[in-house]
Chains A and B, each alone.
Chain A
Amino acid sequence: MAKKENDLLLHKSERKPWMRKKDMIGWLIMLPSIILFLFFVWEPLLESVRLSMYTAKGFRLDTFVGLDNYKRLFQYPVFLKALGNTFVYIFWSLVLGFFTPMVLAVLITETMHLKGFFKMGVYFPNIVPGLATVLMWRYLFGEGKSGVFNIMLSGLGIKPVVWFNNPMLTIPLIVIIMTWRAAGSTTLIYIANISSIDPALYEAATIDGAGILKRIRYITVPSVFSLAKTLLIIQIISVFQILYEPLVLKQGGPNNASVSMMMLVWNYANREMNYPMAAATSVVICVILIILSAVYFKVTKSKEN
């Protein structure tokens, strides 16, 4: 009995310094990874703010100019065009990209044949690298009569279309390409969500005389609604990062019709070597994204309540 108490006492007196040592070792072990995060993630975020307030010659910072770069940016017509285009991108990605995965998920859930194959099939475009995707579609939408889609249209007796060269079509076509590539993974998320709906709900609805469409309308759709809200915001955030598509297809053209915010960053950094202006544009995108993320959190929080 006495020995046990003694043991306990020993343990207690030992605990404090041992904990401190343990904390120190823990931090030491994490240190290399923390340094990587500092260098590659956290510091560059602050650095872009600092960079955006200077002028520079190449990589060397020159003079502090405060918010002048931002003033210049907001007076730059192409920036305003890019900002406007972002809303056009969002509009089309809602029309084309938001409902496609939901519809695909419902369809695949309702089949009993080749289900695994369908899931793999729709997910497949996700693994195609973004740049390769855009190059591929550029030739699929080839102009003139030898472009693939023009061959198909000519089968219907329609004359060749100029696709990306028509400024009205550029953004919707880019959104089609993005949807082709991204819809699959979202579809799998919806499928997982739909399969987790309690089957008793459907059976109860059937007993009450609800037909198939009514069951989808009143059970499936409300169940995926909160997930859809979350995915919607993630989708809008991704629209702000559009770069490869306008860059590879028409360099943001025709006549800046498809220029995106990230493409401005690209142009400042790679064509003009104007890193402060590139940083200023990045910061503006960042601020918009932080606001959207705040909205996202509010939405998910209210979902939990």
Chain B
Amino acid sequence: MFFEKYKKKTDGTIRFYDLHSTRTKILCVFIFILCLLAVVIALFPPIWVFLASFRSIKDFVKTPRIWPEKFDFKLFAKTWNDLKFFKYYINSMIVMAGSVVCSVVFNGILAYGLAILRPKGHKIIFSLVMLSMLIPATTSMVALFVNITNLGLSHSYIPLWLQIGANAFYVILFKQFFEGLPKDLIEAAKLDGCGYLQTFSKIIMPLSKSIVMVIIIFTINAVWSDFLLPYLILNNSGKETVMVKLYMFQGGTATAVDILRAVLYSILPPIALFVIFQKQITDSAATGALKG
């Protein structure tokens, strides 16, 4: 039973004809067990956070155990209310909504210019975009923050929304996709009297739903997890996102189990996103990550 499937195996090293020897059979089972083990290691920490969230702080500190005594969901609601998590969820949602729009529009438009309009000298912009991909944004964070503060834009969502509209990786993803679009359709739109912006919104965008989807998923995940710039800009403004709040719980009065519950709240949305879009996420991770 277990080895029947190996008849169909065409990639990797082991082939069905290798399975004549018992040693190879044992090896196959062993590899399968190692894979299971790897997945257990990958999944265990979040599962443990879920389990530990059911424990009281006394039990958590004193008793060495992993499985909680009882599953009381009231504790979740209590921490949710005590830490006013709803507010931070809303703040994160606000940042996310604006960022998704900016990410698709600004990166898309730039890619449209670079891939299709190609005005004279567009290559300079393209090289500058490529160059900025090599230098991580974190290294210029301080200067950016000083600029934003001097413009009076700290404690505001605006810089966070606009910032993701200048993402070299997304521009490249869009550009590669647009370059693969059928040229005839774009020419036809021009003959039909479509303006340049109309061509983008009425022809290109509807044809690019799949890449727009990928960019939206990437943006949501990136914005939800982002901490550095949101912390610098929104700290003590009452507009903190979930990640900023998660950092600020430390050193406060929150107990270890409170923090673990907060961690749980902060990882549930990305997990939901992953469960819904696992195929898009893993596919684009394998092809896109290298270009990033």
Name A residues whose Cβ lies closer than 8 Å to a Cβ of B: 22-27, 29-30, 32-34, 36-37, 39-45, 47-48, 51, 59, 104, 106-114, 117-133, 135-137, 139-140, 144-146, 148, 150-151, 154, 180, 184-186, 188-189, 191-192, 194-195, 197, 199, 202-203, 206, 212, 215-216, 219-220, 227, 230, 237, 240-241, 243-244, 248, 262, 265, 268-270, 275, 278-279, 282-283, 285-286, 289-290, 293, 296
Contact = CB atoms under 8 A, between A and B. Distances in A.
Interface stretch (B73-81, B133-141, B177-185): B133-141
Contact of A48 (B64, B139, B289): B139
B237 interface: no
B89 interface: no
A49 to B, nearest CB: 9
A22 B41 contact: no
Interface stretch (B93-101, B162-170, B207-215): B162-170
Interface residues of B, number: 108
B24 A112 contact: no
Contact of B64 (A22, A129, A154, A199): A154
Interface string B261-275: 001001100110110
Contacts of A118: 35, 38-39
Contacts of B38: 104, 107, 118, 121-122
A69 to B, nearest CB: 12
B173 interface: no
B42 A124 contact: yes
Interface in B52-91: 52, 60-66
Instruction: Name the residue in B12, B114, B263 with the highest tally of chain A Cβ atoms < 10 Å from its Cβ.
Output: B12
A42 B110 contact: no
B15 interface: yes
A25 B119 CA distance: 8
A107 B246 CA distance: 36
A110 B136 contact: no
A93 B7 CA distance: 38
B280 interface: no
A243 to B, nearest CB: 7
Given A114-B35, A146-B60, A29 B113 contact: yes
A282 B225 contact: no
Interface string B235-263: 00000000100110010000010011001
A21 B13 CA distance: 58
Contacts of B146: 47, 51, 59, 275
B290 interface: yes
Contacts of A248: 247, 250
A203 B12 CA distance: 11
A145 B282 contact: no
B64 to A, nearest CB: 5
Q: Which 10 A-B pairs have the closest CB atoms?
A: A26-B119, A121-B39, A129-B225, A33-B110, A30-B113, A44-B140, A26-B117, A47-B143, A109-B12, A23-B119
A212 B227 contact: no
B246 A135 contact: yes
A125 B136 CA distance: 22
B135 A34 contact: no
Given A48-B139, A110-B14, A185-B285, 19 more contacts: A30-B110, A33-B110, A34-B125, A36-B163, A40-B165, A51-B142, A106-B13, A107-B31, A118-B35, A120-B278, A122-B38, A127-B281, A132-B266, A140-B45, A146-B64, A180-B42, A195-B12, A241-B138, A296-B134
B149 A59 contact: yes
Nearest to A294: B134
Contacts of A33: 106-107, 109-110, 113, 165-166, 171
Contact of B18 (A42, A212, A230): A212
A228 to B, nearest CB: 12
A48 B142 contact: yes
Nearest to A244: B227
A132 B43 contact: no
Given A127-B270, A180-B41, A111 B144 contact: no
Given A120-B278, A248-B250, A269-B142, A41 B132 contact: yes
A112 B5 contact: yes
20 contacts: A22-B117, A29-B197, A39-B166, A40-B162, A43-B143, A107-B35, A119-B282, A120-B282, A123-B281, A124-B274, A127-B270, A127-B271, A127-B281, A128-B270, A131-B227, A135-B246, A136-B260, A146-B61, A191-B286, A199-B11
A282 B119 CA distance: 35
B12 A110 contact: yes
Given A146-B63, A237-B136, A110 B13 contact: yes
A142 to B, nearest CB: 8
A222 to B, nearest CB: 13
Given A37-B132, A41-B140, A128-B267, A212 B247 contact: no
Contacts of B12: 106, 109-110, 194-195, 202, 220
B39 A289 contact: no
A109 B286 CA distance: 14
